[in-house]
Amino acid sequence: LIINQVNGEWQVKNEKLVPYQEIPTSLILQFEEVQLAHVKREGNPITDGLASLGSTITFRTNEAI
């Protein structure tokens, strides 16, 4: 989901997910070349757990991450 949103292929429909699209997008602009790859949940259970944990965090405006 986030990979497709950051790539601009999908729109962010859930307002709570906007920071997950905006922050990586702003970081990507600082590099000459960036490759993003989607790894399915089954292929990486640790990342799946971290993604689930990260989705419980509420971001505040101008807060460093």
Query: Which residues lie below 8 Å from residue 41, measured CB to CB, with a gap of 6+?
Result: 48
Cα 47 off chain centre by: 12
**The two three-digit tokens of residue 52, written as one number:** 């689930």
Amino acid of residue 26: S
With a cut of 80, say whether residue 65 has pLDDT above it: no
Q: CB-based burial of residue 2 (10 Å sphere; 0-12 exposed, 13-18 middle, 19+ buried)?
A: middle
With a cut of 70, say whether residue 25 has pLDDT above it: yes
What pLDDT sits at residue 39?
Answer: 77
Higher pLDDT, 59 or 38: 38
Mean of the per-residue pLDDT values of the chain: 84
38/56 Cα distance (integer angstroms): 21
Where are the chain's structural domains? 2-54
